[in-house]
Amino acid sequence: MESFLIKGGVPLRGTVDISGSKNAALPIMAAALLTDEPCVIRRVPDLSDTRFMVDILKSLGAEVSFVNGTVSVHAKKISGYADYELVRKMRGSICIAGPLLARLHKARISLPGGCIIGARPINLHLKGFAALGAKIKIEGGYVDATAKKLSGGSLFLGGRAGPTVLGTANVMMAATLADGVTVIESAACEPEVVDLANFLNAMGAKISGAGSPTITITGVKKLHGAEHEVIPDRIEAATFLIAAAATNGEVTVKGARADHLRAVLDKLGEAGVSVRRRGKDLVARRGGKLKPVDITTLPYAGFPTDVQAQMMALLALAPGISIITERIFESRFMHVSELARLGADIEIEGPSAIVKGGKPVSGAPVMASDLRASAALVIAGLAAKGVTQVNRIYHLDRGYERMDEKLKKLGARIQRVEEK
């Protein structure tokens, strides 16, 4: 296993290129299963998760290549069976269910199970499929979804934590080939859902309202091949903006979409971080002293859960008390005890973390537990005095493309080493 060795205390300076969005790319790659014609998807980040999706598509029978950020998929003939060994490695693989159901009228997919950040059920995905007329059976750890035909209908997809991103993607994809009109209420509004809808429309689907809580899909007989460029990764962009602020540096984040980052930019501003637009780029610089802020994670356009850990690393440096409340995933605070190893003073009270910021932080060995927690530990290590070893960075490699190389270009002293 590999680790990062970080010598902290160097302000990051320079320009960083943002990769394509992982969470947009994954369902878009799965959507290519909806047609027997070739699809070309550009600006796909080279990550273990996207490589993994390539393997899944291949295992279903599609011809797939992934060269220089371009994924080509030709799903001429496919099967509808996804094995436990494939699905358990990446929870996001559940987004093949909608396309398989739409195209083959049957899907047999291993239940993905929970993960470190929470239980992560798929009841809402299944509720959506059932509303389109699918019969759902759960047996032996597998979901069997079958339908003689899928028919449009009106359905409410809100759950206990609000809308579901991949659930919306799955039902939207299934509905593209259903008979009649499907209306999804309480749909997720995330930019990744909009990007998927744009790709599906380019394939000949008839979708309107994506980006709002009501999405309308008029079923069509067949979808055709299409080309698409994935949107920039808003979570990666936020991570670099925060790293710039945490190290008291100045970083130009190239191609970051400010319109996808409103809640993050708002909270960074409150925390005393200046983020200016320069053409199509965003430039982050710590204006003066960092200030504490209270944050609650919410579905889009609220503050993203995927930036909660990184923001906590920053607020640990801001003198005063910040309260961070996690409303999307019930156990997404695994980074708290690792940040404490660096000297951060954080207490968990129910769904909230109370950050008593401004305590000195210094390097220590820490363990990454999930993707965004790893990014928080890297940010904290970059800001801390001395050497931080972040272990198990395979979590980070799932969702950040060449993060160490990008940080090195900004002046960070960071090395990828074999874990001892």
CB of 302 to ligand EPU, least distance (A): 10
Which of the ranges 34-42, 101-109, 164-172, 269-277 carries the binding residues for ligand EPU, by CB under 6 A? 164-172
Round to whole Å and give the CA distance between 340 and 361.
Answer: 9
Round to whole Å and give the CA distance between 141 and 134.
Answer: 18
Pick from 69, 133, 167, 232 the residue near ligand EPU by CB under 6 A.
167
Cross-strand pairs, 355: 322, 346
395 is a contact residue toward ligand EPU (CB under 6 A): no
121 is a contact residue toward ligand EPU (CB under 6 A): yes
- What track of x and - describes contact with ligand EPU for positions 17 through 46 (by CB under 6 A)? ------x--x--------------------
**Residues shown for the chain:** 420
> Cis before residue 301, ω within 30 degrees of 0?
yes
CB of 86 to ligand EPU, least distance (A): 15
Q: Which is nearer to ligand EPU, 55 or 250 (CB)?
A: 55
Round to whole Å and give the CA distance between 36 and 224.
Answer: 7
Q: Do residues 375 and 309 make contact, with C-beta atoms less than 8 angstroms apart?
A: yes
The pair of three-digit structure tokens given for residue 299, joined into one six-digit string: 């579905």
Q: Which is nearer to ligand EPU, 9 or 159 (CB)?
A: 159
| Edge-to-edge strand ranges of the sheet holding 70-74 | 63-67, 70-74, 38-42, 227-229
103 is a contact residue toward ligand EPU (CB under 6 A): no
The pair of three-digit structure tokens given for residue 330, joined into one six-digit string: 């019930």
Q: Which is nearer to ligand EPU, 193 or 203 (CB)?
A: 193
Pick from 32, 122, 134, 336 the residue near ligand EPU by CB under 6 A.
122
Which residue, chain included where needed, has tokens 């390097």? 363
The pair of three-digit structure tokens given for residue 387, joined into one six-digit string: 């050497």
Round to whole Å and give the CA distance between 315 and 325.
Answer: 13
Which three-class secondary structure string do you get for 169-207?
HHHHHHHHCCECEEEEECCCCCHHHHHHHHHHHHCCCEE
Give the catalytic positions in this structure: 115
Round to whole Å and give the CA distance between 92 and 108.
Answer: 16
399 is a contact residue toward ligand EPU (CB under 6 A): yes
- Amino acid making up residue 329: F
298 is a contact residue toward ligand EPU (CB under 6 A): no
CB of 188 to ligand EPU, least distance (A): 6
CA atoms within a 13 Å half-sphere pointing along the CA-CB vector of 163: 26
165 is a contact residue toward ligand EPU (CB under 6 A): yes
125 is a contact residue toward ligand EPU (CB under 6 A): yes
124 is a contact residue toward ligand EPU (CB under 6 A): yes
Which of the ranges 61-69, 155-163, 236-244, 352-360 carries the binding residues for ligand EPU, by CB under 6 A? 155-163
**352-357 and 365-367 as β-strands: parallel, antiparallel, unpaired?**
unpaired
Q: Please tell me the count of residues contacting ligand EPU according to CB under 6 A.
A: 26
134 is a contact residue toward ligand EPU (CB under 6 A): no
Q: What sign results for the dihedral spanned by CA atoms 112, 116, 118, 119? A: positive
Q: Which is nearer to ligand EPU, 165 or 313 (CB)?
A: 165
CB of 152 to ligand EPU, least distance (A): 20
What is the radius of gyration, based on Cα positions, of the chain?
21
- What track of x and - describes contact with ligand EPU for positions 353 through 382 (by CB under 6 A)? ------------------xx----------
- What track of x and - describes contact with ligand EPU for positions 214 through 253 (by CB under 6 A)? ----------------------------------------
Round to whole Å and give the CA distance between 293 and 321.
Answer: 8
Pick from 329, 342, 355, 383 the residue near ligand EPU by CB under 6 A.
329
Which residues here bind ligand EPU, judged by CB under 6 A? 23, 26, 92, 118-125, 159-161, 164-167, 188, 305-306, 328-329, 371-372, 399
